[in-house]
Structure 1
């Protein structure tokens, strides 16, 4: 059996390891931290003695690679999957809007849902339909030089439509402002969600913490398929000789492998690849966006739905877990320097604006999690030069949501990147 070292125990590394283990490779996965998951990890909140995720992840039915991965590791029961798309939006003073596609068959259910979405007028809804019909036949490569904002203006999408529909979709999918992001990648996402089938449109949420949904089942799959998973094990160097990866060095000991996959962030990759080979990696300079997640334990939970999207707000999504709620703010760079107590106070005030029945005194516990370098900004220039899984160094491959997956930095992008790296290796043998 061919031996593969996978460096990094996030979703990209776990994905690569699972697919190679399923194809009879001997896989050794190395993770520097004591637990898997990378940024998409879970931890014990001691005050309530429950495991919670660092951040909430909303997935969609068009996440083909994610669903295939979860099926392979036997964890489908950990996912909540809508039968039909249903979204709850809210404006200040508890003004609620519902996008409900639960009636009729696709695509007529989406048309009826749009007709019933009261946040826009009739002409604005017709403009959305025209845009989606145009996308059916429009090569998205022609949008490579547009930002999302520029494209929406070009397609006569009003300011109101941008605020109550496209912006909340875009900032959730891309974690960056529509002024910065590539229109091509956003248009590709819209086609995947709305222009394939009904299944692609639905929302998927983890019913358990991310450890139980992804990480532990993946770890068990690797071990059951003759692999090894090593936590708290830091790779010092990738051993490269004559432009070929030969193995890894751990605590001055060399371990030989036929192939090496790096599934760590690109800045960490530079630390383990000898400097003479940095230029062969062809990695551009990325800009990053932050994500802020705030978990609130309430003595009275006034939220009835599983999740809400907040319109015209810098607080974007609320997820209801029953015992606590999670608030997610994307493109959160301006929040990173604010102290945690002030963050909880500010978010509580915003919740009160949108849900007047919310009591500022109802918070029993809070947990603020700042991810300063959460995702790369999917800018026009960067998308053209993202590195592929295969490098110019023989037998060294890359995985990570920042590689050239054609997707933004999401769970789907990470898992797809791992499979792409595994597929490149399968082509070599």
Structure 2
């Protein structure tokens, strides 16, 4: 059993911090969450735009996100109600020069074979190329002796130019938020193994029907409070200091009522990598600090466009061919009205690794995206939305480059653990990797408490 007096501070209320807080509260720890912002969720949160609660970035989850789905259920969120479940697909608007690939709900790997045979927009060479990739990756156990870029991997597997353009590039951008020329092939294979290479349900695409804040972070905070914990919003942790057998938290913010934070038996540091590096600066953790300093970051931009309530797409989402030379920056478009009836006529366009696109400026990029939608769908009215809003998360994820050294959950100091989508693991910076990291951090704290 955990010691009754185990007091744990969780710094940061992103999905990693919330995952850690729930696991610790479930085990009987007295958890206090410190969040510098006024809202929960970190880099995957709800935001209010034009009196509509949306997300700071549109997300796609996978059926392979086992730990995320488990914790959702644990805090009272039923995935079948909160998420729209779709079979694996890569579908482009008819006549746009794309493809139509949909995996039927058949046992694996039959579902992929049937999807490949039925796929439209791919010639025989493309289909053979995709089949060869899948069979070779399985034979290799989805492992590389030496990591390389995704582009190098695709060249090695003789993937056709069209298949790279319509399948592998958009999948790589969506999963790793890093261009294939710079992205880690091994991490990409890890994602494919747990989706394409696993059971049929693992490859399902899950679209949130509610904003990301209420999908998990708010329910997690309520769970912590029901179990005797505290959640402080607007409370920025300025310093963490080791004591004899505990840690002192120094925090600022009106939410604390003047209290500096106090002493805790353990601390889960679940802030973004750059913020974590700043808090570790005085603790002489040279290896961890060097790993964090070596990170570079990639932005994600989401453009929301509101049309009349009767405006809808034939499918909940489509892939888009991005081509900056033509002013086509969007990579996926989502019909929010098919996720939430209160958002009829609202479309969300996502641009991963969006540095070049965001450099255009807000107004120019919004106009370009609206023009892209009008052209791709052959619907001139999409060029003139009633309003549009652009959100760019500048440090949405770390750049997931080959052989990147990522820090472990263990900091090297007793009672201090790290949590975040950037810590060592098989996945890139996704909601699932954040939740997995939070769970591992909580388990490390609990092992120390039992010792």
- With the shorter chain as reference, the TM-score category is over 0.9
1:320 is matched with: 335
- Cα distance per residue 1:66-105 (max 9 Å; x no partner): 11111111112553242633442237x4456432222543
Q: Cα distance 1:103–1:275, how it changes in 2: closer, same or farther (>3 A)?
A: closer
Work out whether residues 309 and 318 of structure 1, in 8 Å CA contact, stay in contact via their aligned partners in 2. Answer: yes
Q: Does 1:28 align with 2:15?
A: no
TM-score by length of 2: 0.89
Return the alpha-carbon distance in structure 1 between the equivalents of residues 103 and 147 of structure 2. 33
Return the alpha-carbon distance in structure 1 between the equivalents of residues 387 and 261 of structure 2. 47
Aligned residues: 423
1:307 is matched with: 317
1:409 is matched with: 429
Q: Single out whichever of 349-358 and 19-28 deviates more from structure 2.
A: 349-358
Work out whether residues 4 and 27 of structure 1, in 8 Å CA contact, stay in contact via their aligned partners in 2. Answer: yes
- The Cα of 1:368 is off from its aligned counterpart by 0.5
Return the alpha-carbon distance in structure 2 between the equivalents of residues 193 and 366 of structure 1. 34
Work out whether residues 144 and 183 of structure 1, in 8 Å CA contact, stay in contact via their aligned partners in 2. Answer: no
- The Cα of 1:18 is off from its aligned counterpart by 0.5
Q: Does 1:82 align with 2:82?
A: no
Work out whether residues 46 and 214 of structure 2, in 8 Å CA contact, stay in contact via their aligned partners in 1. Answer: no
Q: Does 1:295 align with 2:304?
A: yes
Gaps of 5+ in 2: 253-258, 324-328, 338-343
Q: Does 1:354 align with 2:376?
A: yes
Q: Does 1:335 align with 2:357?
A: yes
Q: Cα distance 1:143–1:114, how it changes in 2: closer, same or farther (>3 A)?
A: farther
1:281 is matched with: 288
1:170 is matched with: 172
Q: Secondary structure of the equivalent of 1:235?
A: strand
- The Cα of 1:27 is off from its aligned counterpart by 0.7
Q: Does 1:257 align with 2:264?
A: yes
Work out whether residues 246 and 257 of structure 1, in 8 Å CA contact, stay in contact via their aligned partners in 2. Answer: yes
1:339-418 to structure 2, matched below 5 A, reads 339-360=361-382, 362-382=384-404, 385-418=405-438
Q: Secondary structure of the equivalent of 2:440?
A: helix
Q: Secondary structure of the equivalent of 1:181?
A: coil
- Cα distance per residue 1:280-308 (max 9 Å; x no partner): 53442111111111000012524121110
What root-mean-square deviation, in Å, do the aligned CA atoms of Structure 1 and Structure 2 show? 2.0
Q: Single out whichever of 224-233 and 125-134 deviates more from structure 2.
A: 125-134
- Cα distance per residue 1:301-342 (max 9 Å; x no partner): 241211101135431000101220100001111122222111
Gaps of 5+ in 1: none
Q: Cα distance 1:119–1:32, how it changes in 2: closer, same or farther (>3 A)?
A: same
Return the alpha-carbon distance in structure 1 between the equivalents of residues 221 and 193 of structure 2. 33
Q: Cα distance 1:365–1:282, how it changes in 2: closer, same or farther (>3 A)?
A: same
Work out whether residues 143 and 183 of structure 1, in 8 Å CA contact, stay in contact via their aligned partners in 2. Answer: no
Work out whether residues 106 and 197 of structure 1, in 8 Å CA contact, stay in contact via their aligned partners in 2. Answer: yes
Q: Cα distance 1:305–1:152, how it changes in 2: closer, same or farther (>3 A)?
A: same
Work out whether residues 99 and 120 of structure 2, in 8 Å CA contact, stay in contact via their aligned partners in 1. Answer: yes
Q: Secondary structure of the equivalent of 1:18?
A: helix
Q: Cα distance 1:139–1:113, how it changes in 2: closer, same or farther (>3 A)?
A: closer
- The Cα of 1:108 is off from its aligned counterpart by 1.4
Return the alpha-carbon distance in structure 1 between the equivalents of residues 376 and 248 of structure 2. 55
Return the alpha-carbon distance in structure 2 between the equivalents of residues 353 and 7 of structure 1. 46
- Cα distance per residue 1:107-148 (max 9 Å; x no partner): 212111111112221232122222212222314442533111
Q: Does 1:14 align with 2:15?
A: no
Q: Does 1:201 align with 2:203?
A: yes
Q: Secondary structure of the equivalent of 1:295?
A: strand
2:279 is matched with: 272
